[in-house]
Chains A and B, each alone.
Chain A
Amino acid sequence: MTPEYGVAITDITSGLMNWDMWGRLGWREVKRRYRRTVVGPFWTTLSLGIFVVALGVVWSRLWGQDPKTYLPYLTSGMLTWVMFSTFCTEGSSSFFASEALIKQLRVSYTLLSIAVVWRNLIVFFHNLAIYFFICIYAGVPIAWPMLLIVPGLLVLSINGVWIVLLLGMICSRFRDIQQLVTSILQVSMFITPIFWSPDQLTGRAKILVDYNPLYHYVDIVRSPLLGKVPSAWTWFLVALMTAAGWSVTIYLFSRFRRRIPYWL
């Protein structure tokens, strides 16, 4: 089977252009959480907030850190991590969740993927409320690098789309991968500097920071949230991951796009 780049590229561009549709699909999920509940999607925010505060207070003592520096660090990292890991988990199930649709109409898979990313971006902005309060408590100063949140989120979302597309495709064919993704993410949350700072690691274990793409994915949004500029290495590695991820995805997608409905 030879790759059909034309069809794949059309799928991607037509999906991207149809912002009306993915915008609608993304919002619909969020709106659903608003219905018939008082605080709506803020429930996830609330539980994340409780988690972050409880953990932050205890662990800052445990590691002898100032809660006023540890809490903002933990919160900004967790917010970004939650978004990123949801890209992966929802991506794994995105295609078979839309099976009925895929088997009835010719839909753009990219469109479905962007809808997932968009929805989680909206949730991220809801969750940002926690960070706002933490900032007030810890007195995080407003600094210009915070503007870098915009390119950071944009880059992370662009990566999110290939992740959802790739995992959606692979998981349609190999149903085990979904479980695998969940367990890898679980472990990654602990070995990636989210609960702890990269400075706490010394020696060869530094690899977990320097060459861990997940760390850099998180940091590209976390650093600006903390009012810092992400390092050049972070920008470089994320750019590399974006290019590599999209290349692999476009290659596999153009090769196997046509098989997806048969797999579902």
Chain B
Amino acid sequence: MASIKLDKVCADFPVYGSQISFRKVLFNRTIGGLLSRPNDGSKRISVRALDHVSLDVRHGDQLGIIGHNGAGKSTMLRLLAGIYEPSHGTIKIDGGVSPLFDTSPGIDQEDTGYENIVTCGLFLGMTRQEIAAKTEDIENFAELGEYMALPVRTYSTGMMVRLGFAIATAIDPEILLLDEGLGAGDARFANRVRKRMHALIGRSSIMVLASHSDALVQQLCNRAILLDHGRIVADGTPDEVIERYKEMNAETDKALPPPTPPEDDASAEDIDLMPVAPAKV
């Protein structure tokens, strides 16, 4: 049985060489993480992205993490993926974790589509046999035809995203971690993308999705938490938590006369997501 247990987890990001702008940032509280200077007299400044978070995720949970930009959503996912390790507290994870934050880590522009399937597949933790077995499925989904044998450099952005998405979603995850940015190109694809995502989530035992789209969380999750300044402020069904999120937004709007909405809120409605340029190694 897969499970995740977080016990009083903190994540602190050290900030180097930015002492000058410290005061300015301090007043701009809308950015999220808590800035702190340790009490031990040292001059180091760090941003506390997560503040004593305790959480229990059980087998079968499809957990949505909601919150403003900088509330700690991505940090939380990266902690669960084992990329960051907590500066305080403990994380206990049973089961293999598959993080999908960006389409295909390790895609190489100079390599062909086929070569990239192998490289990315290995990075995602597949064995050579699994990759060989999945290659056809990936090819079919990506619909790249002859282009599969050409260097990825020659692809259009949409094609590259399709390939990356096809590889990334071919895995058999036990614990699946998703960032909402993951998605694929043109509109014609939206439907197939949705289907494939559902199939992927269906294959997993636990799914954790970070998003500020209410609709996406309602559609895909059976549980949600609301993060604010690195703390969990609500935990429950998606409907309850989204309700709380809306209240919170209304409160902040009142409290802060000049509302500066986080810039990517505009895209939050659009669940089928923006094309994401694949990462290079």
Q: Which residues of A contact B (CB under 8 A)?
A: 20-21, 24-25, 28, 31-32, 35, 97-98, 100-107, 258, 261-263
Of the candidates A31, A97, A100, which one forms a contact with B105 in the assembled complex, judged by CB atoms under 8 Å apart?
A100
**At the interface, yes or no: B248 with Cβ under 8 Å from chain A?**
no
Contact call A105/B123, Cβ cutoff below 8 A: yes
Among A35, A102, A105, A261, find the residue whose CB has the most chain B CB atoms closer than 10 A. Answer: A105
Nearest Cβ on chain B to A175's Cβ, whole angstroms: 9
Where chain A touches its partner, the secondary structure class is helix
In the A-B complex, the 4 residue pairs with the closest CB atoms:
A258-B85, A100-B279, A106-B82, A104-B105
Q: Which residues of A contact B14 (CB under 8 A)?
A: 262-263
Contact call B110/A105, Cβ cutoff below 8 A: no
Of the candidates A31, A97, A103, A263, which one forms a contact with B83 in the assembled complex, judged by CB atoms under 8 Å apart?
A103
Q: Which residues of B contact A24 (CB under 8 A)?
A: 118-119, 122
Q: Who on chain A is nearest to B46 by CB? A: A262
Contact call A32/B110, Cβ cutoff below 8 A: yes
Q: A20-B122, A262-B13 are in contact. Are A28 and B83 (CB under 8 A)?
A: no
Q: Once the chains are docked, how many angstroms separate the CA of A246 from the CA of B233? A: 46
Contact call B110/A104, Cβ cutoff below 8 A: no
A-B Cβ contacts below 8 A, count: 58
Q: Who on chain B is nearest to A18 by CB? A: B122
Q: Who on chain A is nearest to B82 by CB? A: A106
Beta-carbon contacts of B268-281 to A below 8 Å, as 1s and 0s? 00000000000111
Of the candidates B84, B97, B101, B102, which one forms a contact with A262 in the assembled complex, judged by CB atoms under 8 Å apart?
B84
Q: Which residues of B contact A (CB under 8 A)?
A: 12-14, 78, 81-85, 97, 99, 101-102, 105-106, 108, 110-111, 118-119, 122-124, 128, 279-281
Q: Which residues of B contact A20 (CB under 8 A)?
A: 122, 128
Q: Which residues of A contact B281 (CB under 8 A)?
A: 25, 97-98, 100-101
Contact call A102/B83, Cβ cutoff below 8 A: yes
Q: A20-B122, A262-B84 are in contact. Are A105 and B105 (CB under 8 A)?
A: yes
Q: Once the chains are docked, how many angstroms separate the CA of A59 from the CA of B124? A: 53
Contact call B101/A100, Cβ cutoff below 8 A: no
Contact call B122/A104, Cβ cutoff below 8 A: no
Of the candidates A97, A101, A106, which one forms a contact with B106 in the assembled complex, judged by CB atoms under 8 Å apart?
A101
> What are 12 contact pairs spanning A and B, CB under 8 A?
A21-B123, A24-B122, A28-B111, A28-B119, A100-B105, A101-B105, A102-B83, A103-B83, A104-B83, A105-B105, A261-B78, A262-B12
Q: A105-B105, A105-B123 are in contact. Are A35 and B110 (CB under 8 A)?
A: yes
Q: Once the chains are docked, how many angstroms separate the CA of A102 from the CA of B119? A: 15
Q: A261-B83, A262-B84 are in contact. Are A104 and B108 (CB under 8 A)?
A: no
Contact call A104/B111, Cβ cutoff below 8 A: no
Nearest Cβ on chain B to A34's Cβ, whole angstroms: 10
Q: A35-B110, A262-B13, A263-B14 are in contact. Are A104 and B84 (CB under 8 A)?
A: no
Contact call A106/B83, Cβ cutoff below 8 A: yes
Q: Which residues of B contact A104 (CB under 8 A)?
A: 83, 99, 101-102, 105, 279
Contact call B99/A105, Cβ cutoff below 8 A: yes
